[in-house]
Each structure stands twice: as C-alpha cells, then as structure tokens.
Amino acid sequence: MTTSASAVKTKPEDLGRVTFLDGQGELPMLEITTPWSTAEIYLQGAHVTQFKKKDESPLLFLSQCSRFVEGQPIRGGIPVIFPWFGPREGLGQHGYARLKAWDLKELTQAPDGSVSVRLGLPGCPEASAYPAYTADYIVTVNQSLTLQLIITNQSRDAAFSFEDCLHTYFDVGDVTAIAISGLKGLSYIDTVAGFVEKTETSDTLRIAGEVDRIYPNSTGTVAIFDPRLSRKILVEKQGSASTVVWNPWIAKARRMSDFGDEEYERMVCVESGNVASNGISLPPGGSSNMTVKLSSVTLK
C-alpha cells in the first residue's frame, strides 16, 4: 500500500515512530505513534489491539479479561479471520491465522507522519490442507486506520477457496444508545434466530439484545452513531462483500471466560469480510484484496 504524503515535514515530533515491545503475556508487539494517533499491533494474529486518536476515546474495544497467551485468541481489537469464518467441525473457530505469529516484512515511515506495517502469515502445518498461497496484511496508521488483507493463490493448477474477515470490535459509550446505518434494505442471516433469512427494514439498527447477523452482498459504508462518546465511526471498504454485526448481550457474555460479564455494554462488532455465500475462490495465480478504512468524526 502506498501512503500519500503531503508537504515534507522535518520536525522529529511530526514523524511517525515504531517501538518494538514485549506486550501483555510477553507477546511481541509494535507500538506506533503518529502526529494524530497511536496504535498497537501484536505479531500473534497480526492483531491490532488499539487505535486511538489524540483527544478521543479508543476506537477499538479490548476485553480486560482477554488472554494474551501464545496460540490463544485475543478478545477484542481486530482479529484476522482466515481461511474460514465461524466454526468448522474438528478445526475450531475462525481459522488459524489469528493464532499464528506473523512475520514483520516491511515498515514504512512516510514524510507526512503516516506509518505502514506489512505482515506476512508464515507457513504452518494447517496450511497443508490448502493449495499454496500467501497472505499479506498491511496496516496504515494516520488520522484513520487502514487495513489491507491480500491473499494470493500460488498454485499452478488448483483453485483456492476460503473466507476472510476483519472481526472489528468497536468501543462505544452505551451499546443501547448507538445507531448503525448503511444496512437498510439488505437481506441478512439471523444466527440468533436459527439462521433464518430476514430483511433489514429500519433506517438504523439498534441493539437491545443478542445480535449475530451476516449481511451478504453488503459492500457499502457502514456508520456507527455514538451519542455517548459524541462521535460517528465510519467503516469504509473495498473488496468486501459481507458485513457482520455482533453483540453477545447478557447471557452469552457471562458464558465467555475471556470476556467481562458487563463488557457487552461497551462494544459492538461491525465486521468486514467475505463469508458464507460471499466466500472467495481464486483461480491459480489469482489474488484478492480487501481494504477497510476505519475513521471517526465528532458529532455536532
């Protein structure tokens, strides 16, 4: 990903910085500081756990009960879901990419203060069930957070079928007060109701109970209006045909060992991906590119 630069600045405080640290559980992480924002990326799962603009609440939710253990998923932030979404018999939930330590392949500090990090998923035993492929993830931090997941089928003679998703947890002031727009008129699969197909008829989606919905053929921008934190979050995307909205609510939150009993009140997942009927099949040599831009503006 090429980050556009404005007029070159020379002051050290205007340059983006990257610090290599041992994070929670002594897992290696990158701390990124730009003139506008800060972010944290754990190499395990290429997992962005924090993005925060200066003078604003964190954009991402991270559970205080999350495990930071090698080979265990992190609860919150932006898990990278690949090569399957949801459960798969005998193989666990949401694929193996979020459990593997990714390689740091490139680090770019642009003259305008932006920072881009390219991570690559290394080979692993689980990948032997698929044709040869590469998975690259580019995270760009500036006034916004831009995420680019690139999957390339390196096989000469076999198609590569998979699902991918950026399972983004957003921090909100009160989940019952937010309104989610951009989904009206779309069909969705209501997982809570037993995978029944329904149609979104309201201008905005309100959360008043457990929500787990897959919106196929959803390619447009989704906005989260948050009056408690006085901001609007924008989820803009390309190369993503699915949107997933999730909140566990009371009973499920209490059953999750890595999630606080009351934390459902302060989060909502609005996920961008290609799942279920929108799963991708790449021909030999083919490549897919999903780009998601997360930003926020103050509500007047």
Residues tagged active-site: 167, 271
Q: Which residues of 139-151 are buried (b: 16+ CB within 10 A; e: fewer)?
A: bbbbebbbbbbbb
State residue 236 phi and psi, 5-degree precision.
Answer: -105, 140
Neighbours of 63 (CB within 10 A): 19
Query: Does an H or E element contain 237, and which?
Result: strand 231-238
- For 14, the 3-state DSSP assignment is helix
User: Which two tokens mark 32?
Assistant: 């990124």
d(CA 109, CA 116): 7
DSSP strands (E only) in 54-168 = 80-81, 87-88, 92-93, 103-109, 115-120, 133-141, 145-153, 160-162, 164-166
Q: List 39's β-bridge partners, or say none.
A: 32, 51
Query: Measured between alpha carbons, how far is 114 from 134 in angstroms, rounded to an integer?
Result: 26
